Amino acid sequence: MASLITTVTTSLGASATVFAPLKNLSKFMIIMAMTAIGYQTNLKKLITKGGSALLVGGLCWVLISLASLLMQKVLGLW
């Protein structure tokens, strides 16, 4: 929603520099929310109950990264 408002107002003539403080504020708020969630995470419980899900997620991350690098090599981008 914020990007839509920014796009519309800048296309109507507003300066993009007006939104720079709001962009920084939104980054700060997201970091604070993620920190609050992280503080309430019990890592021991997460690993014991969700170990297989973490393993699958990590494996998917590696495979997607390798596929991306392979496609970049095939397309001559890397």
pLDDT in tens, 59-75: 999 999 999 999 999 99
Same structural domain for residues 35 and 62?
no
DSSP characters over 16-32 = GGGGHHHHHHHHHHHHH
- Residue 17: band (very low, low, confident or very high) from pLDDT cuts 50, 70, 90: confident
Contact between residue 78 and residue 69 where contact means Cβ atoms under 8 Å apart: yes
Stated pTM of the model: 0.51
The reply to whether 37 and 54 lie within a common domain is: no
**Domain ranges, residue 76:** 50-78
pLDDT (tens digit per residue) in 20-76: 888 899 999 999 999 999 999 888 888 899 999 999 999 999 999 999 999 999 999
Q: Are residues 2 and 37 in the same domain?
A: yes
Q: Are residues 25 and 56 in the same domain?
A: no
Same domain, 11 and 37: yes
Q: What is the count of structural domains for the chain? A: 2
